[in-house]
Structures are given as structure tokens and as C-alpha cells.
Amino acid sequence: MAVILAADVVGFSRLMEVDEERTHAALNTCNSAIAGLVSKHSGRIFAIAGDSFLAEFASPVEAMRAAIEFQEDVSGRSFDLPEGLQMRFRIGINLGDVIVDGGNLFGDGVNVAVRLEALAEPGGICLSSAVYEQVADSDVKPAANPIKDRPPFRFEVGHRSDQRPASFRH
């Protein structure tokens, strides 16, 4: 069992069409940020492909903390992108069985995380019910499309008005 975090840039092809150099620079900034946050929360990135990455964690709570901090970091940056364009990520997190092959992971646990990522709103996080069950004190709203008869949960990362650490809201 492993906790898998899958992340992908929203509209990356469009961003590259409009301004390849600035989009690439923004992606490099994001990749550096996520690498530090994954490490900070005791995880490891095991795959990077273009504008997406996969990370493994032992703890659902640490995966969620990394995801929240990353989404906040990205949303708080003013990347040097053309007006009206933003660098935003979708993130999916799943707890499931994986096959370990060297430093890479495969299997249903990874596949479900990737499918959850596709369900997340831009700038949001979508959790499997297995991850949600491990995380306390969250305000959640089930997504419309269940995956393998288990409903995922969608989250929007945001700050509370009193500026306490990020919370989930729907």
C-alpha cells in the first residue's frame, strides 16, 4: 500500500502555444517547489512526464499537506505569463496497492490517483474515499463521478478569513 499523489498542469498545451519560454520557466519553478514540498513531507517523486508528476507518500496526511502547500504556493505566485493566463494544477491523491519495480510504481493505486487528478477542479485536490477516511477535520463534497464504485471527494484549497492555515472548502 502507498499513497500516490498525481498532479498535472491545467491547459499546459495552450500555455506553451501562447508563450513557450515563460511557460517552461514557470513549470521549472513549480517543479522545484513541489520537489521541496514532497521531500519536506517525507515523500518522493517517482515519475515526471512533461507537465505532470507522480509522488509516493507513506502517510495520507503528509500527502495532503504537501498538496495543500503546493496549491497555495502556485496560486500565490505571479508567474511572468501573458495576461489572463495562469499556471494551475489539478491534484489527485489515492491510497492503494502498487507494484514496485526498481524506483517506479505501477498498478491500480497509481491509475486511480491519475483518474482522480483528472476529476479535480483547476487549483483543486480530489481524494479517494480511502484517503479521506484517513484525514480528519475536512469539509468535503463528493464528486459526481464515482471511481470503481468508491466516491472521490473534491477539495478547493483556500485560506480562512482569519488567516489560519489552509482549510478545505467546497
Domains identified in the chain, total number: 1
pLDDT of residue 102: 93
Domain that holds residue 152: 2-169
What confidence tier does 160 reach under pLDDT thresholds 50, 70, 90? Answer: very low
Residues 65-106 have pLDDT tens digits of 999 999 989 988 877 777 778 899 999 999 999 999 999 999
Q: Domain containing 19 — which CATH number?
A: 3.30.70.1230
Residue 58 sits at the vertex; the CA angle it makes with 51 and 66, to the nearest 5 degrees, is 45
Q: Say if residues 123 and 71 touch (Cβ distance below 8 Å).
A: yes
State how beta strands 124-127 and 89-96 pair: parallel
